[in-house]
Amino acid sequence: MADHDEANEREERLKSALWYTIGQFVDNEGAEDFNATPQFIGALTELVYTQIQNAAKDLELFSKHGGRKVINGDDVMLLTRRNEALEETLKRELDRMRAADGRGEEQRPKKKGRPTGMGARGKGKA
């Protein structure tokens, strides 16, 4: 039981940190433009937290499905499988990071194309 409480407490602390950081972000982002009620910040925090929770589970399962213990970039790209525009944006981001890291990174197998399994998804409409 003590274990459980501890986990809960840690979750609460993490959520508080997230709440604080998101509050800061919204304040900075909309300094003169707009503002947000505290309730909005709270709700957004919950939303983001839930999204991270889901993503964590997904990533874990993706890597496990790939027979790996370590989550890699392809797993993250899989998160975007339902949104082409997002996939494109993230891929560009990935390329940019890779370029920043020095091009040596590129010889890592693929990663440039989507993971091969995804062809089945029929992403190319038409």
Partner 1 sequence: MPPKAAPAARRKGPSFKPPRPVKPAASTAAAKRAPNATAPRPAPAKPSAARSGFHPVTTIVSSDEEQDAEFDDLPSDIDALMEDALDEEPTPPQPVALDLSTPPIPAPLLVRLLHHNFQNENTQIQKGAMNLFGSYMSIFVREAIARAKDERERAGRSGGGAGSRFLQVEDLEKLAPELLLDF
- Give residues 77-116 in contact with partner 1 (rule: CB under 8 A): 77, 79-80, 82-86, 88-101, 105-106, 112-113
Q: Are 80 and 58 in contact (CB under 8 A)?
A: no
In the complex, minimum distance from the CB of residue 1 to partner 1, in angstroms, rounded to a whole number: 19
- Give residues 28-67 in contact with partner 1 (rule: CB under 8 A): 28-30, 33-37, 39-40, 43-44, 47-49, 51-53, 55-57, 59-60, 63
What is each CA distance from 83 to 26, 58, 78, 89, 123, in whole angstroms?
A: 25, 16, 10, 10, 10
Interaction between residue 9 and partner 1 (CB under 8 A): no
Q: Are 94 and 78 in contact (CB under 8 A)?
A: no
In the complex, minimum distance from the CB of residue 126 to partner 1, in angstroms, rounded to a whole number: 5
Q: Which amino acid is at 47?
A: L
